[in-house]
Structure 1
Amino acid sequence: MIRIAALNAASTAADESQDPQRSNKSQTKEAQEAEAFALYHKALDLQKHDKFEESAKAYHELLKTPLLKEALPSEDQRVGLKHPGLMLKYSTFKNLASMSASRDDLETAMEFYLEAVMLDSTDVNLWYKIGTVAVRLVRVPLARHAFEEGLHCNPDHWPCLDNLITILYTLSDYTCCLYFIAKALEKDHCYTKGLVLKEKIFKEQPCLKQDTMQMFVKCNVSVHYVEVEEEERRAIVEEALEIRRRRQTLSLCKPQPDLILVQPIRSLSWRHVGESLVAMFKHQTTCEPPRPSLGRRIDLSEYRDPNYFQNLPQPSSPVSIGHPAVLSSPSSSLPPVIFPEPAALLQTGSQLQVTMGQATVEVTTSAPPTATGMDISLTDKVKKAPKRKRGMEDSGETAKRRSARVRNTKCKKEEKIDFQELLFKFLPSRLRKFDPDNDDESLGNLETPCDGKENIQPLHGSCLPADTVEYMECEQQDVHNFLLHNMTNGGILDLMMRYLKAVGQKFMEEWPRGLAAVVLEVHQSWRKHSCGLPNPLLRDCSNQHIREMLTMSLACMELQLEQWLHNKGKIIPPKRGLGALSSDVADERLPGQHFQSDLLLLALGSSQRDLFEDDWLDVMTRVYWLKARFLAL
């Protein structure tokens, strides 16, 4: 018997037998569409009878049906909504949005409108509704986007054009506003809103009248002469200004209290101020989020009264009997120290140290555990006593004669020449900032040498010399003036920049111990967040600001170079072929992240004689000496 069948009948039957789920889907597709359309019509009828809650429930059930869940939009917008599931989903979102908008639930309405526009963005009416809801929610940029997209769908849609002109005036985008006003006046030369806002913009910015005159070439000539009644003119302008005021009201932030230094300033010294600023910077950049802004004002009002520092607890410090040394870190919180009797020191539990072969007797009192941050040493280094050779009686053995052959086996060491010390002798005295004999000490431990007893005289029984007390008083006055002048500040970064400016002006003076390390840390913390030094060639700011910034940067870069010289051999050289490094790693590598760019601006600034006036030659010498030492590093 002969049977006639299609060629793919066997394969189709085999596929259906192997995949029963696919067969079930193909069989029930029409049933799913019928069920979904029936549920949609039911929800639509409920909506017409103002039964919004029941209608919304039916719409949400419709969104859960398999037909709508499987409907996914196409990436090509030209395809449109050909799938029945996409058509139902699009209509459902639009109806849910309109019901929410009618009940003034604007947030929910906006969510449904955006879901609908993701399925089909070619509906101008949908874009217009999104724009109107955005205006009511005072989301002005979203409203602008919606009306612009509506005009892309239909350039002749007048409601979108009319509302877009109002929104553009609200956003103060006057150029685009005049462009769309010209488009509207081409269609209707008696368009009142366009005429009013055009004249209003020309009144606020007269320069636009000449620049945008070409836009109105195709318009009727009467658009430049038509007058509008004052009441109607005021109503049109007030509509746009009201939206602008509502937007400004929403953008206002609640005033936040000023920040307080996490490490209070305990002494009127540049070192303590710098340490407080560094501690505050670390707190603001490492604390738990939400972190306070680096531009948030810091309250310094408690330091307005100079007597504030006198009421602080006075920490004790080590005392040295012998040659009095100059304090390297003067502080106003330290009172004059009176020499007590040795017996009294022993009774208070102090430690007496007597070194054989040394004429200095050192007595150190133990500081209470509550005193912090006052580690001041007033003693010189004590040399070790030479070792005594053991005699024959100590060893107990007969000394043997060494062979002459053994004595001559040692090779002579190669003579080393210290080029640094050799070149140091040719430098003028004003450029000798550091003593090469004390090169092993770090920047923070450089001490002022003591010339002798004749130049140092204790003041009223104090171990502080007269010149040190005078320096302390001058420093206290300068620091207090700095705090008074910066009560109004722009946050921690602004305070750090002003601090570096103030300290940079005193770079040619003798600094107390520990100040150099603090200034370097302040500069490194501030430089990470700074956009760079002002360009001395552009002169886009005052000459005083440029001069202060360059002087400050020069001082800090000299300190940085000294630190690199002290740490020579420990510096990590830059390696090629490495990717982008973090800022912390880049600062550790020579020459740092900003050193070369800042050095270029310093070289440019040193060429401007009118910028530094009488100090021009000194600054230029320092800059090129810094560059020479850096290149030789």
Structure 2
Amino acid sequence: MIKIRALNRDSLSDEDAPTIRREAQEEIALDMYNKALRHQCNGNYEEAVSILEKLLTENIPQLESQGGLPKTMSTLKYSCYFNVGNIYVQKKNDSDALDNFLKAADLDSSDVTLWHKIGTIALKLDRFRQAAYAFLKGLECNESHWPCLDKLISVLYAIQDTVTCLLYIGKALVLDKDYIKGHVVRKLIFESNPAAKEYYQAYNPDYILEPDFDGVVTEEDEKMIIKNLEPLCKRLNEVEKSFGPKPLPCIALPTALQDFTWVSLGKTILNLHNYITENKLSYFSKVDITKCMSREYTDVEAVPIENTAENSNENVIDAKPIVLPSTEPQTMEVENEVKPEDNFEQRRPSLSSENNNLSEPNCSQGEDNDEMDQDTEDQEDNSEQKEEKKRTAKRKRDLLSDLQIWGWHSKRKSAKKGKSEKDFTIQGALTRIIPSYLLPNGINIERNKNFDKNKGIDNIFTNFKSQLSSTSVNFEKYFGTENEKNDVTNFWTKEREHLDVVDLIEEYTVSLAKMWNKKWPKELISLYLKAYDKYREHFEHPELFNGLSSFEEIKNDALVTLMYGEIVYFYLKTEDKDKRKVHPTSLIQLQLLSTWKEQWQEDYFIMFVRIHWLRAYVLKGLSNHTLAICAYQLVI
């Protein structure tokens, strides 16, 4: 059937395009390879490499996509890599030559001459272990290939693999008992390490087949062999030294210290740390604080600080320090709070009471006993009313009513007239029933009257703050005074054997952490948070029980962590607080340290209160109210 189609060229479809058969593609590839060989024989290396690389990147992959390469094309691909490697050897491009030889070895690893070429080029590039591997692979192809065996012995002696070297020396002496190099190298190994002979004999029981050194080697031959081996050993030593640690540079400050204040010092240290990070330098590089990258200076002129009221109050936050609680016992109400407006008449009536009109909860136990007889008579007189109440519908069981049963035993008529006080919480009923000297932590009921009963867990901490003594800690004016200037000057001029940015970060954070009872400028708070982040990049929490860390190191780490937590939970706003958290590991570390009373000595009470007060805040933020209350009780 005759096809009718348009004569326009653009109308041709892919199905109508001519296709080249697989056999024709193979013929084209062979013709291109022969053409490249002719260019190579004529010295036209550029043309030859161009054709061979085109074969490797276009023609051969096209054949592979059609179901794999036949054996002839696989051999052609190997030959292309091999010839490209030879061309690069002629052009003295050893690195590219080695890469192409290795690709050829991946296709066919049975060519001993190819492995010899790889090992020889690897030696030129000072890749000694790669060269030893190539010579070993060559000997796997042919055990008696002498060029690989001879060069392998030299490389093994240079890299000081003495046992393997002795093994192949023995194989060489079996092939040629007059192998002078083998006798000399074996003698050098035994002289430098006498124990190697005994170890080698145990490693290779067939050593008895090796000929002994019978003195056939002259002194001149020995010197010549050693002279040939020395350059190889020196090259290996130089390569190994290049991989060793290099001397660290001495770094000057990117920005100079402007004045002797903790704010200025923090900016200088953080800029130095950022400079080292951005330039990928070592954090342990020595820092010369007497030099700046823009200029050199031997001293820093401090900006004069006037001790006026304006300067002292400027940029100073309202202090929210951790203050010590008073020693008087405290109490709190947490849960099961009931509003006064609740209708108590709807609760379950008491089993021994006539009605739900409750007397004063603060009646003494003696008054309760005096009224018991009168309560019994009242119960008999009002039996009709009691039977009527029993006929009413059952109401929801109320735990507070049950506690009132055991607290009052029956209806009590208060001796005092007036408005009666009611128990709105279970804790209130318990504190009325149980004598004060049996209450936990010596809770004083009278001090608890002013506690707000209608507020939840969030107000416990607020009420506790109001009960703390504001005079427990003496806050002296420090920032913006001569005391600050003197402290920063001592920090800056302190003599140190070695100073790097890690040391500066550590000393800076520890110094600020010890100022927890002072009013901080707002800018210093943000600087401390950044410094703490850098501090944690270099320092983990020290182990507490392995004995490798001194208590001073553990103490400083705890102070830095505690100061960070107090800033995050006591000073930051809610949106900023969500970005920063105290890690649970840090919290556990502090909790363990709060039990080290002997080590803290006179600082134990302060650290105990600070640690558990911080724990209470952290646990409250996690809505773990039970543990938060436990931590709170430890504080009070």
Say yes or no: does 1:320 pair with 2:331. no
Say yes or no: does 1:40 pair with 2:67. no
Amino acid aligned to 2:496: H
Amino acid aligned to 1:40: Y
CA change 1:297–1:202 in 2 (3 A) is: farther
Alignment map for 1:277-316 (pairs within 5 Å): 277-285=269-277, 287=278, 291-302=280-291, 308-310=299-301, 314=303
Q: Is residue 251–residue 288 contact of structure 2 (8 Å, CA) maintained in 1?
A: yes
Give a deviation string over 1:568-598, Cα, whole Å, max 9, x none: 994999xxxxxxxxxxx9x723436x52575
Say yes or no: does 1:556 pair with 2:560. yes
Match of 1:528 among 516, 532, 537: 537
* Structure 1 position 100, deviation (Å): 1.9
Amino acid aligned to 1:485: R
Amino acid aligned to 2:453: E
Name the SS for the 2:583 alignment partner.
Answer: coil
Say yes or no: does 1:272 pair with 2:264. yes
Q: Is residue 202–residue 208 contact of structure 1 (8 Å, CA) maintained in 2?
A: yes
CA change 1:277–1:57 in 2 (3 A) is: closer
Provide the residue aligned with 1:576 in structure 2.
Answer: none
Say yes or no: does 1:448 pair with 2:457. no
Counterpart-to-counterpart distance in 2, 1:216 and 1:275:
67
* Structure 1 position 47, deviation (Å): 3.9
- Aligned identity (percent) is 21
Give a deviation string over 1:282-303, Cα, whole Å, max 9, x none: 4444x5xx64444444332238
Q: Is residue 265–residue 272 contact of structure 1 (8 Å, CA) maintained in 2?
A: yes
* Structure 1 position 495, deviation (Å): 3.3
TM-score by length of 1: 0.56
Provide the residue aligned with 1:129 in structure 2.
Answer: 117
Counterpart-to-counterpart distance in 1, 2:90 and 2:121:
11
Give a deviation string over 1:256-297, Cα, whole Å, max 9, x none: 964443332223344432332223334444x5xx64444444
Match of 1:91 among 79, 82, 95: 79
Give a deviation string over 1:116-150, Cα, whole Å, max 9, x none: 23433443432332222122123445435544554
Name the SS for the 1:588 alignment partner.
Answer: coil
Residue ranges of structure 1 left out of the alignment (5+ in a row): 1-17, 329-374, 382-410, 427-434, 440-445, 451-455, 457-462, 574-584, 610-614
Alignment map for 1:392-541 (pairs within 5 Å): 414=453, 437=470, 448-449=475-476, 469=482, 471-472=483-484, 474-482=486-494, 484-485=495-496, 488-490=498-500, 492-500=501-509, 503=511, 507=514, 513-514=520-521, 518-530=527-539, 532-535=540-543, 538=546
Q: Is residue 33–residue 84 contact of structure 1 (8 Å, CA) maintained in 2?
A: no
Counterpart-to-counterpart distance in 1, 2:140 and 2:593:
53
* Structure 1 position 424, deviation (Å): 8.9
Name the SS for the 1:298 alignment partner.
Answer: strand
Match of 1:25 among 16, 20, 29: 20
* Structure 1 position 50, deviation (Å): 5.2
CA change 1:376–1:318 in 2 (3 A) is: farther
Provide the residue aligned with 1:102 in structure 2.
Answer: 90
Provide the residue aligned with 2:230 in structure 1.
Answer: 238
CA change 1:235–1:44 in 2 (3 A) is: same
Name the SS for the 1:218 alignment partner.
Answer: helix
Q: Is residue 516–residue 559 contact of structure 1 (8 Å, CA) maintained in 2?
A: no
Give a deviation string over 1:205-246, Cα, whole Å, max 9, x none: 899888776424432397997887552463354143233245
Name the SS for the 1:96 alignment partner.
Answer: helix
Amino acid aligned to 2:520: R
Counterpart-to-counterpart distance in 2, 1:205 and 1:498:
50
Provide the residue aligned with 2:107 in structure 1.
Answer: 119
Name the SS for the 1:276 alignment partner.
Answer: helix
Counterpart-to-counterpart distance in 2, 1:82 and 1:223:
49
Counterpart-to-counterpart distance in 2, 1:244 and 1:221:
32
Name the SS for the 2:98 alignment partner.
Answer: helix
CA change 1:107–1:211 in 2 (3 A) is: same
Name the SS for the 1:266 alignment partner.
Answer: coil
Amino acid aligned to 1:556: V
Counterpart-to-counterpart distance in 2, 1:619 and 1:212:
65
CA change 1:281–1:601 in 2 (3 A) is: farther
* Structure 1 position 559, deviation (Å): 0.8
Provide the residue aligned with 1:566 in structure 2.
Answer: 570
Q: Is residue 97–residue 110 contact of structure 1 (8 Å, CA) maintained in 2?
A: yes
Give a deviation string over 1:299-342, Cα, whole Å, max 9, x none: 322389996222x6x37768338xxx9x69xxxxxxxxxxxxxx
Name the SS for the 1:235 alignment partner.
Answer: helix
Q: Is residue 134–residue 140 contact of structure 1 (8 Å, CA) maintained in 2?
A: yes
Counterpart-to-counterpart distance in 1, 2:136 and 2:541:
42
Deviates more, 1:235-244 or 1:157-166: 157-166
Give a deviation string over 1:153-172, Cα, whole Å, max 9, x none: 556655445545554565x5
CA change 1:376–1:280 in 2 (3 A) is: same
More helix by share: 2
Name the SS for the 1:301 alignment partner.
Answer: strand
TM-score by length of 2: 0.56
Alignment map for 1:61-100 (pairs within 5 Å): 63=56, 66=59, 68-72=60-64, 82-100=70-88
* Structure 1 position 553, deviation (Å): 0.7
Deviates more, 1:100-109 or 1:207-216: 207-216
Counterpart-to-counterpart distance in 2, 1:183 and 1:74:
47
* Structure 1 position 619, deviation (Å): 7.7
Counterpart-to-counterpart distance in 1, 2:317 and 2:72:
91
Aligned length: 464
When the two chains are superposed, the root-mean-square deviation of aligned CA atoms in Å is: 5.6
Q: Is residue 128–residue 160 contact of structure 1 (8 Å, CA) maintained in 2?
A: yes
Counterpart-to-counterpart distance in 2, 1:86 and 1:378:
79
